[in-house]
Amino acid sequence: MHQVKVKYKKLRETAMVPCYQSKLAAGMDLHAANSENIPIAPGAIEMIPLGFAMALPDHYEAQVRPRSGLASKFGVTLPNAPGTIDADYRGECCIPLINHGKELFIVEPNMRIAQMIIAPVVQATFEVVEDLDDTIRGAGGFGSTGS
């Protein structure tokens, strides 16, 4: 297993270090660092503080994703999933949560609200050309390869 070291700086007393819940888990759980309940009305988006900043190694990103339990049970997810935290960001990490459910949702202090995956990043360069090579699919768009 390949591991990278991420530097972690606690910004709020209520912050918790992200952690894996099982030996082979891909994502680390992220905990809310709010000191009081944060209500999210149906259809509303709230920024939830995580209470920490971090320094990822160069050429890595943190992908932030919804927790499947919150999404399937309550309709609470990330409006921009997956979100990206870049290696050069040093501010407090926060999670935007949206309530797609029909009931008020309460984010309690230290609640697990999302998961984070650390992944390598490849930066591309573009070569401007006059023609592209042909493929069987060609210019077929959405749904062109079947249902």
**One pLDDT digit (tens) per residue for the chain, 147 residues:** 678 999 999 999 999 999 999 999 999 999 999 999 999 999 999 999 999 999 999 999 999 999 999 999 999 999 998 999 999 999 999 999 999 999 999 999 999 999 999 999 999 999 999 999 998 888 877 776 665
The contacts of residue 110 (CB under 8 Å, 6+ apart) are 14, 16, 31, 32, 33
Q: Both tokens of residue 75?
A: 């309709």
Check: pTM over 0.75? Answer yes or no: yes
From residue 46, give the alpha-carbon distance in Å to each of 41, 61, 77, 138. Answer: 9, 23, 11, 42
